[in-house]
């Protein structure tokens, strides 16, 4: 890369800087059922009757399981701790309930599956810290389902639960092994930082399983289910949230919205957006500024961007501490007067950045921002559009980096 290319790359970073590169696992999808792998041992949670019958524990379960026919009534009778895995408040409430029942001798042991979802068991995904927040010793248990003809794992990209249960019931026999590992006591440092305790337990279990770990989380399982609903490859929607959240506190809701926007950009439905796809989707002219915006996401200069690259850039921009300041500066640059901006002023300012932009393109953009159809843009309208489309700000940051 010559000095001119490096200068352009620094310019493309704008005032916020470039998003960091994240090395993600492109070869492993923990939410895919591949029946070609036979005879292996899977760590699954399809059948839980044995541990429940032997220990009669207090279980932690997903809130939606309470609505299951028959099983839901049994779960309620067991006074299980229900948790909405998407809600932060529900997770905190569940963590408090776990601590309260673990401290009380009137209750049995608390049984938790800290992955918070089911996988194909080939690697161990990230553990939720809620099970380790009380700071009490834990008894790791590995449940394996050796199989030959039918893989019983219940994952997003696999057979539905009713078909799995039917297949299990129509086999001559099914196998399950339960292995109890030594009790693990937290250190003083781990009682203060549950994530450290969770990671040590996870690594201990992974060694016993003779497998490795990955940074996928329950949020990735949710994204895999969303991908299946949208009829796209689930692997293309995985972000490895455990690693991804080091950039920004990206939520599942934001990731779903980001995926919808990426699919709108992916005109050819190939799972990768080219520069031609990008300018067609945003309906702006082919110019040097748009090339720099595209290059902001295409960190590898491959000529296309995938969902992970797009989401990384969006998360970095929207989560930046100066985001609101940039939005205000961009609005003022467009000529907002007394908290109002008309279409002519927007066209004039965008022509400074993109001389070839047409009135029709600005008109369509203005209508997308003007959700109230009042003919004038308030700063709140402009801010709301930038919140939903953080990449729109790159036009100003790259084209007019002196804004900050």
pLDDT in tens, 369-388: 888 888 888 888 888 898 88
Neighbours of 133 (CB within 10 A): 20
Question: Got the DSSP string for 276-336?
Answer: HHHHHHHT----HHHHHHHHHH-TT-SSEE-HHHHHHHHHHHHT-TTHHHHHHHHHHHTT-
On average, the pLDDT of the chain sits at: 76
DSSP single-letter state for residue 36: T
How many Å from the N-terminal Cα to the C-terminal Cα in the chain? 27
Give me the residues paired with residue 58 across strands: 110
Rounded to the nearest 10 degrees, how much is the dihedral formed by the CA atoms of 128, 130, 133, 139?
-70
3-state secondary structure of 142: strand
Give me the residues paired with residue 357 across strands: none
pLDDT digits (tens, 9 = 90+) for 203-241: 888 888 887 777 777 677 777 777 777 777 767 777 777
**Domain 1-22+247-404 listed as CATH 3.30.310:** no
Average pLDDT over residues 12-31: 48
| Contact residues for 399 (Cβ-Cβ < 8 A; gap 6+) | 289, 352, 353, 354
Q: Please report which confidence band the pLDDT of residue 158 belongs to, taking 50, 70 and 90 as the band edges.
A: low
Q: What per-residue confidence (pLDDT) applies to 360? A: 92
Neighbours of 378 (CB within 10 A): 17
- Under a CB-based contact definition with an 8 Å cutoff, are residues 87 and 77 in contact? no
Give me the residues paired with residue 221 across strands: none
pLDDT digits (tens, 9 = 90+) for 84-128: 766 778 877 877 887 777 777 766 677 777 776 666 666 677 787
The burial of 2, by beta-carbon neighbours within 10 Å (0-12 exposed, 13-18 middle, 19 or more buried), is given as exposed
The H helix count followed by the E strand count for the chain is 18, 7
pLDDT at 31 over 60: no
Comparing 256 with 46, which gets the higher pLDDT? Answer: 256
3-state secondary structure of 141: strand
Of 180, 211, 203, the residue nearest 111 (C-alpha): 180
- Under a CB-based contact definition with an 8 Å cutoff, are residues 396 and 16 in contact? no
Q: Where are the domains of the chain?
A: 1-22+247-404, 49-209
Give me the residues paired with residue 184 across strands: 138
Neighbours of 241 (CB within 10 A): 23
Which pair of tokens denotes residue 12?
């493309």
Name the range with the highest mean pLDDT among 81-90, 142-151, 230-239, 267-276: 267-276
């Amino acid at each position: 890369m010559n000095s001119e290319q490096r200068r352009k790359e620094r310019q493309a970073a704008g005032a916020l800087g470039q998003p960091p590169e994240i090395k993600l696992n492109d070869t492993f999808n923990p939410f895919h059922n591949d029946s070609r792998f036979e005879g292996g041992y899977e760590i699954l949670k399809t059948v839980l009757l044995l541990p429940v019958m032997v220990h009669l524990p207090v279980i932690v379960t997903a809130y939606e399981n309470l609505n299951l026919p028959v099983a839901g009534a049994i779960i309620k009778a067991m006074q299980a701790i229900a948790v909405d895995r998407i809600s932060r408040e529900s997770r905190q409430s569940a963590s408090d309930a776990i601590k309260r029942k673990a401290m009380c001798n009137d209750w049995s042991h608390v049984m938790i599956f800290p992955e918070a979802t089911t996988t194909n068991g080939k690697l161990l995904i990230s553990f939720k810290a809620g099970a380790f927040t009380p700071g009490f010793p834990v008894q790791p248990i590995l449940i394996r389902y050796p199989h030959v003809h039918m893989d019983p794992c219940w994952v997003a990209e696999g057979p539905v639960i009713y078909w799995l249960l039917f297949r299990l019931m129509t086999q001559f026999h099914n196998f399950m092994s339960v292995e109890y590992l030594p009790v693990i006591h937290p250190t003083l440092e781990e009682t203060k930082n549950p994530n450290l305790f969770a990671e040590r337990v996870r690594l201990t279990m992974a060694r016993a399983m003779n497998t490795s770990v990955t940074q996928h989380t329950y949020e990735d399982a949710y994204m895999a289910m969303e991908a299946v609903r949208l009829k796209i490859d689930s692997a293309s929607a995985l972000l490895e949230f455990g690693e991804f959240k080091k950039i920004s506190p990206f939520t599942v809701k934001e990731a779903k919205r980001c995926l919808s926007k990426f699919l709108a950009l992916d005109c050819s439905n190939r799972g990768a957006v080219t520069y031609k796809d990008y300018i067609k989707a945003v309906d702006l002219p082919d110019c040097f500024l748009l090339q720099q915006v595209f290059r902001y996401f295409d960190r590898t200069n491959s000529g296309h961007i995938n969902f992970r690259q797009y989401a990384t850039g969006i998360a970095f921009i929207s989560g930046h501490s100066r985001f609101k300041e940039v939005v205000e500066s961009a609005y003022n640059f467009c000529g907002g007067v007394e908290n109002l901006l008309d279409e002519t002023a927007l066209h004039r300012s965008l022509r400074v950045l993109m001389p070839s932009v047409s009135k029709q393109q600005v008109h369509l953009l203005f209508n997308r921002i003007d959700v109230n159809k009042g003919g004038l843009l308030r700063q709140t309208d402009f801010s709301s559009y930038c919140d939903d489309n953080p990449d729109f700000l790159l036009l100003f940051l790259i084209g007019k980096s002196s804004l900050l």
